Amino acid sequence: MPDFLTAALYKFVTLPDFAAQQAPLQAFCEAQDVRGTLLLAEEGINGTIAGPEAGVRAVLAHLRSDPRLANLAHKESWSHKLPFYRMKVRLKREIVTLGVPGINPNQMAGQYVKPQDWNALIADPEVVVVDTRNAYEVGIGTFEGAVDPHTKSFSELPAWVEAQSAPGGLLAEKGGKKPKVAMFCTGGIRCEKSTAFMRTQGFEEVYHLEGGILKYLETVPETESRWKGECFVFDERVSVVHGLATGHYDLCRACRDPISEADKASKLYVPGVSCPNCHDRKTEEQKRGFIERQRQVDYANRRRQPHIGAKLTSSSAHTDEDGA
C-alpha cells in the first residue's frame, strides 16, 4: 500500500473571514505533518494536500467542521513519495484567477455532466468541446476532438472566447443561436468558473465535466475512454494516467513544464537548468542561478539529505491555483 494520501479539493462559497483563517489552518496542517497548498479567498477554498492518511483526513475533517464547508468534496490518490515539499496556505483575490468581476459559479455555472455521460456529450458534432487548461497541460493529453485555446493562463480565456465569438469563429452564432459548449479542466474548478462566464456571454447550453479529468480517469475504464495522453498535475507526480496512477513525465525545474524522455534526450536539456521548451527563454543570470541550485540538489542527493526544492522567479513558476 502506498504511504501517502493526496487530496484535491475546492469549493465556491462565501468566506468573508478568509484572511483570519490563514494562520490557524497553516498551524493545523503542519501539526498533522500535511504538506501542499491551500488557497483562501472570499469566494472559497482551493488546493491539494498530501501526507500520512491520518493527517490528511484530520485536515479534511477540520475544514468540514466549518458549516460553510460541511459538504466539501475531495478527490483522492496515493503515492509512495510525498508529492509536496512544504505546506502553504495563501490568501488570494480569487481561488482560480479569471479576472472578470461578478462571476459567481454558485449561481451561474453550467450543467454538470457525470464522467460516465461525458463520452456521449462530446461525441455530438454540434457541441464545441473546449479544454480550459493552459497550453503546457494540453500538450501532454486531452480529449479527442477538444479545442485547445493555447492560453498561457486561465485569465486569457475570456479574450479567446471573445475572438472565437466573432463571425467565422468556433463560437460564432449560427442561425441566430450560439452553439452548445462543453468545457473541462483538471479537477473541475476552472470549468465551473468558465461556464459561469460563458453564461454571462449569452451561451445558454453550456456543460462541464463534473469532477474534471481526474474524476473521469478514476471512473471511466480505459477501454471506453476518449482521453488521449496523460493529465498534468501540480505536484511531484507531474502527471497521472487512468486509475490515477503516476504517469511518465518529469518536471523541468527551470520552467516547470512537463518533460518527456525524448525531451531529456535533447541536447537542449540540462537537468535543473533548461529544457527544449525554455532553453532560449532564460537569461544567463537565471541559468547561473539554476546551475547553483542544481549543484546544491546534487550535493544533498549524494549525502542522502532532503532538499526542499527550487525557489523560482515569478516568471518561471506556474501558479498553484492552476492546479484544480
Residues marked active site are found at: 185
- Contact predicate 21/13, CB 8 Å: no
Query: Rounded distance, CA 188 to CA 197, Å?
Result: 14
Cβ-proximal residues to 227 (8 Å cutoff; 6+ apart), any chain: 141, 142, 143, 144, 213, 216, 217, 220, 242
Query: Rounded distance, CA 63 to CA 69, Å?
Result: 6
Residues pairing with 227 in the sheet: 143
Q: Quick check: helix, strand or coil at residue 97?
A: coil
Residue 16, all three cell numbers: 468573508
User: How many C-beta atoms lie closer than 10 Å to residue 300's C-beta?
Assistant: 13
For residue 218, how far is the Cα from the chain centroid?
Answer: 16
What's the sign of the alpha-carbon dihedral 296, 302, 305, 308?
A: positive
